[in-house]
Structure 1
Amino acid sequence: MSNLAQWRVTRFDVWINPVFDESMKQEQGVTVEVAPVTGDDDAAWAALQRAHFYQITAAKDELPAQFHARASLLERCPQLLCVSSTGAGYDTVDVEACTHAGVAVVSQIGGNAPAVAEMAIGLMLAVSRRIVESDRKLRRERGFSRESVMGHDIGGKVLGIVGIGHAGTRTAALARAFGMRILAVDPLLSAEEIRARGAEPATLEEMLTQADIVSLHCPRDASTLNLFNAERFAAMRPGAIFISTARGGVHDEMALAEALRSGHLAGAGLDVWHPEPPPLDHPLLALDNVVATFHTAGVSHEGRHNVASMAAQQIIAMLRGERPARLVNPQVWDRFKARLREASQC
């Protein structure tokens, strides 16, 4: 990094593990500026317009839409060289607009995969063994039998994984320890690669008819939006369980509620919603066979530390001219390096 340059990293005052700021402040010539997410838009815009790197939250409902990394923001922030997501996803970033503007986009994919996988397995256990139902009942009733909250083991069952990337692969590894048979659907991977990641390749239709539990680990994009609709839920095995630690909008919440109310599906474990958090009167929250969490699958102390540290290290590597491992738009790399050199001479 040029000693002449003063690099500015801007983030909003939403929670991030302190390792991010600590790592950045150890780098000579780097300043971290924390902008207010609410209450002072002028100060927030001033900080963004000074930024070379924008460390952006990946939670779309946590950040006002005006501060999403869209074309309008990029036009107002011409010094911006890179947008770095705080998580594996980047729902708050328009990658195409960033690429057009010569702005690199990096994510922290894989950093919280162990946490997400543990949560997915936890939701499977909670729903299948009716753990939350038993807890609620024990707190408010007496005179019921243990058999009234009797569930099923997950051992020996068929698990269908939709999207066997970092989190999906870790989930498959944990599921194998329970003796589950793993089927996986991932249009981005060959059958050989799916097998290498510990699953049997299958079509979505094959999976739906065979899986006792279906767990979503795919990104939200044009190809997956509303992927699980009424037709897909109807195609699932009677008595199956639906789990999602992916993104809100990949499944149709109202269609899922109906599949559960009708008894076709036995239960659901949901970490993601559209919007987040869901309204208190959401139909899914009224069902005892739904275990609901607030997009916390990747939000463990370890997971948050990992992604914050990874984000800092990727920014530091880029300032040294090193290509980051998790560059979302690789086609922009040469232009990014040219803009970085130009900025270092200012």
Structure 2
Amino acid sequence: MTQHFRRETLTHQESSGDGPKDAKFKVLVLNPWGSFGQYGERAILENAGCAVEIVEDRTEEGILRAVRDIDGLYFTGPVSRKMLLAMNQCKVMAASSIGMDTFEDFDLATEKGIVVCNCPGVFVDEVANQGMALLLACVRWLVPTANFVKEGSWADRSRERPWGYIHRMTGQTIGIVGLGDIGKAMAQRAAGFGLRVLAHDPYIPAETFKAHGAESVSMGKLLQDSDFISLHVPLNKETRHLISGPQFALMKPEAILINTCRGPVVDEAALITALQNGRILAAGLDVTEVEPVASDNPLLKMDNVVISPHMASISEWANGERRRRPAQEIAAALTGHQPRAVWNKEVLEHLNLK
């Protein structure tokens, strides 16, 4: 397909809406976290000459109407192909998340000359900490044992103790699938617990594994040799159901699976079967295939499963930074500067950004 790009320095556009009277750009905010402006994100945009509008009508028709004449989009959640087609002059879009699996058509965004940004590096430590917390909770059976004490059962010696196999951890092996920023941070934490670190990532150079104390191995070896398996990959066609029946069949019966990336990376039906059949020992999940998790999901009734509500990225610092960063990216692009985290990097070849 022939692609048509706007070869230009992003120029000023007069716009209406809230913000400075001499606003040159119009920025639309879609599905913001909390009260927009609480962490300075509105001020960042207004100082760059942007009039800020919050989407009030969240029907498809309302959103398509709202995006027609915008210069920038600050968004959380999905961006459809219809939205991109409706944009007449949009120059930059910035998400308040790392994952971009709900963005429908990057090729179309690039064809239209739209810079698309995400938010990497902001909550790396938070997610890695959550991954380690889930692992420790599973290893030490923290949730069922805490409930056991709260129920007043500690003193009752006739009650069966609510734990099964307990790993020592020290000297055992963790397999990290995906050695990006969060995978690296997980490897660092694992080393602190005396774990041997295996990792699989076909897109990472050999020296990166060595630099982070990880042994580069095939996926099969990782699944077979690891006591703990932690997932840190983006969700795409390649990684959807990356972990399913054949992968569980390779794991040790005492293996613990940790998932803090995206729910559909794991085939949940296969996970449930593996847990019910004792094919693996336990699972710690911050994400599920359908969110929020259904109240009748069998995972909720298993003592060997710990589930948190997709909150691994949260900390007070990260909450503010994830709100400011998209505003900074939009402000940079609209004032003729290159944003720090561009997803569709090929678009930069056709724009004169400093």
TM-score after normalising by structure 1: 0.88
Q: Which residue of 2 aligns with 1:91?
A: 101
1:69 corresponds to 2:79: yes
| 1:222-252 deviation line (CA, Å, top 9, x unaligned) | 1111110011011011210000001121110
Once residues 211 and 20 of structure 1 are traced to their aligned partners in structure 2, the CA distance between those partners, rounded to angstroms, is: 44
> Which residue in 2 is equivalent to 1:239?
254
Q: Hey, which of these two has a bigger chunk of helix by percent? A: 1
Work out whether residues 164 and 197 of structure 1, in 8 Å CA contact, stay in contact via their aligned partners in 2: no
Counterpart among 119, 135, 146 of residue 146 in structure 2: 135
User: Which is further off, 261-270 or 86-95?
Assistant: 86-95
**Equivalent residue for 1:117?**
128
Which range is displaced more, 291-300 or 305-314? Answer: 305-314
- State the shift of 1:37 in Å: 6.3
Rg: which structure is higher? 2
Give 1:1-346 correspondences, 5 Å limit: 5=14, 6-15=24-33, 18-19=38-39, 21-36=41-56, 38=58, 43-58=62-77, 68-93=78-103, 94-140=105-151, 142=153, 143-144=156-157, 148-149=162-163, 151-337=166-352
- Separation in 1, partners of 2:268, 2:209: 29
Partner amino acid for 1:80? C
Contact 2:92–2:333, Cα closer than 8 Å, also in 1: no
Deviation at 1:192, TM superposition (A): 1.7
The Cα of 1:168 is off from its aligned counterpart by 0.8
SS of the residue 1:298 aligns to = coil
SS of corresponding position for 1:265: coil
Q: TM-score if structure 2 supplies the norm length?
A: 0.86
What SS does the corresponding residue of 2:197 show, helix, strand or coil?
A: strand
Q: CA, structure 1 residues 154+333, in 2 after alignment: closer, same or farther (shift >3 Å)?
A: same
Conserved? CA contact 2:41–2:324, under 8 Å: no
CA distance in 2, matches of 1:98, 1:153: 50
Whether contact under 8 Å (2:33, 2:323) holds in the other structure is: no
Identical pairs, percent: 30
Task: Name the amino acid aligned to 1:52.
Answer: D
Instruction: Give 1:146 shift.
Output: 8.9
Task: Give the counterpart letter for 1:149 in structure 2.
Answer: W
Give the SS at the match of 1:49. coil
Is this contact kept in 2: 1:24–1:31, CA < 8 A?
no
Distance 1:28 1:14, change over 3 A: closer
Deviates more, 1:206-215 or 1:294-303: 294-303
Q: Which amino acid aligns with 1:109?
A: P
> Is the partner of 1:32 in helix, strand or coil?
strand
Distance in 1, Cα, partners of 2:293 & 2:107: 29
Cα shift at 1:140: 3.0
Q: C-alpha displacement at 1:4, in angstroms?
A: 6.5
Let me know the Cα RMSD of the aligned residues: 2.3
Give, in whole Å, the separation in 1 of the partners of 2:109 and 2:183.
28
Deviates more, 1:231-240 or 1:143-152: 143-152
User: Contact 1:10–1:55 at 8 Å: present in 2 too?
Assistant: yes
- Describe the shift of the 1:154–1:31 C-alpha distance in structure 2 as closer, same or farther (beyond 3 A): farther
Instruction: Please list the CA deviations of residues 40-94 of structure 1 after superposition, one character each: whole Å capped at 9, or x if unmatched.
Output: 6655444322321111214xxxxxxxxx323211121212212211111112212
- Pick closer, same or farther for the CA change 1:54–1:138 going to 2, 3 Å: same
Closer, same or farther: CA 284–98 of 1 in aligned 2, 3 Å: same
Deviates more, 1:24-33 or 1:266-275: 24-33
In the alignment, the residues of structure 2 paired with residue 28 and residue 83 of structure 1 have an alpha-carbon distance, to the nearest angstrom, of 15
SS in 2 for 1:332: helix
Q: Say whether the 8 Å CA contact 1:115–1:298 is kept in structure 2.
A: yes
How many Å separate the matches in 2 of 1:31 and 1:24? 11
